[in-house]
Amino acid sequence: MMEMTARIISYLDSATDKVLVEGFAYGARGRGVGFQYGAGWIVREALVLNSIPYLDVPPSVVKKFATNNGQAKKEAMILPIFKKWKFEHESDDVRDAYVLARIGYSMYFQDNLLEYEKEVLKKIKKI
């Protein structure tokens, strides 16, 4: 885990980069949840220790930005993401990361945003 975290940090520049991290799904269950929380905190700590600004974005905000429904199921995000941005991937995690990147971009370049996307951005503080 530490090697992966070091690799992530190596791609970032504290002078220019800002990071959006999907917040924890506190209602999640299953065997991998403990690992996800641990990994999430290790990455966040590494960002802080390396003076890289980051912002936690709740899963409901990621869903709302992609679908206009903050309670959307993962499967219900596939088609809206493809229709809006022509992006597709097998992995829910990669699709979530793509939406986070779109949110980050839209925080600074608000061209052609839908009303509900603008509403989402108002709830997120700029980093």
Rounded Cα distance between 70 and 50, Å, is: 32
In one-letter notation, the amino acid at residue 15 is A
The length of the chain in residues reads: 127
- Straight-line distance from the first to the last Cα atom of the chain, in angstroms, rounded to the nearest whole number: 26
Cβ(26)–Cβ(58) below 8 Å: no
Per-residue pLDDT of the chain (127 residues; tens, 9 = 90+): 889 899 999 999 999 999 999 998 777 777 777 778 888 899 999 999 999 999 999 999 999 999 999 999 999 999 999 999 999 999 999 999 999 999 999 999 988 999 999 999 998 876 5
Rounded Cα distance between 86 and 97, Å, is: 15
Write down the pTM of the prediction: 0.88
Q: Which domains does the chain have, with CATH numbers?
A: 2-10+18-123 (3.30.420.10)
**Which residues is 21 bridged to in the sheet?**
56
